[in-house]
Amino acid sequence: MTTPTTLADRIDALLPQTQCTKCGYQGCKPYAEAIVAGEADIDQCPPGGDEGVVKLATLLGRTPKPLNPEFGEYRPPTVAVIDEATCIGCARCLPPCPTDAIIGANKWMHTVVPGLCTGCELCIPVCPVDCIHMEPVSALPDADASRERFNAHQRRLVRNQEEREARLAAVEAEALSRLRGHSKSA
């Protein structure tokens, strides 16, 4: 891991990297940036719990406070488990997984790689057959590894969007070219 250089990087380094969005932001880094900007408080990360709030307070020279229950309660670490007999292979759980911990394809059974799952629970609400549940684990994956997997996931989403837009632009250009060619010959 590289040494965090900005205050947001140092805050992000203290967060559990579940990328669960329970804090109200789209990941741990945006939450860290919101803390620096004064838009978020240090007590909004349920996976970090009161211990996480104390770490953030210490870094920022603030008085610790309890976790704000408005954002959820601290719970011991869990990972998602898919009941493979119930899974219909809809693939709806794949896009929201921030660390690509779910393996599967459309119309094929899916499974979760426990060592990659951060316990974010983002896969649960999208499952149409309720085949995903959470099971306790002794610890979540290494936060630095989870951060890198999340960043890789984000880069892939951007790349996929750019490729999709390029394909669409090429189709549109081809259709326009054909239309112009057709109108000239008419």
Among 18, 38, 71, which residue terminates a domain? 71
Q: What are the strands, taking DSSP E only, across the chain?
A: 78-82, 102-103, 111-112, 132-136
Per-residue pLDDT reduced to its tens digit, 53-80: 999 999 999 999 999 999 999 999 999 9
Per-residue pLDDT reduced to its tens digit, 26-54: 999 999 999 999 999 999 999 999 999 99
Per-residue pLDDT reduced to its tens digit, 133-153: 999 999 999 999 999 999 999
- CA distances, 151 to each of 101, 142, 145 (Å): 13, 14, 10
Give the per-residue pLDDT at 2. 60
- The residue with tokens 């779910």 is 102
pLDDT reading at 105 higher than 80: yes
Q: What is the mean pLDDT of residues 121-136?
A: 97
Among 71, 104, 123, which residue terminates a domain? 71
Give the per-residue pLDDT at 160. 92
Which residues does 77 contact at the CB level (< 8 Å), separation at least 6? 47, 119, 136, 137, 138, 139, 140
Q: How many domains does the chain have?
A: 2
Q: What is the mean pLDDT of residues 89-104?
A: 95
1 lies in some domain: no
35 and 102 in a single domain? The answer is: no
Mean pLDDT, the chain, as a whole number? 94
The identity of residue 64, as a single letter, is P
pLDDT reading at 111 higher than 70: yes
- Token output for 123: 């896969």
Give the per-residue pLDDT at 126. 98
SS (H, E, C) 90-140: CCCCCCCCCCCCEECCCCCCCEECCCCCCCCCCCCCCCCCCCEEEEECCCC
Domain hosting 62: range is 7-71
Strands 78-82 and 111-112 turn out to be: unpaired
pLDDT reading at 169 higher than 80: yes
What angle do the packed helices 143-185 and 28-37 form, to 10 degrees?
100
Give the per-residue pLDDT at 178. 84
Per-residue pLDDT reduced to its tens digit, 78-94: 999 999 999 999 999 99
Measure the CA–CA gap between 77 and 182, rounded to whole angstroms: 63
**Residues 8, 59: contact at Cβ < 8 Å?**
no
- The residue with tokens 């406070």 is 65
pLDDT reading at 182 higher than 80: no
48 and 86 in a single domain? The answer is: no
166 and 82 in a single domain? The answer is: yes
Give the per-residue pLDDT at 186. 60
Which residues does 30 contact at the CB level (< 8 Å), separation at least 6? none
**Residues 131, 82: contact at Cβ < 8 Å?**
yes
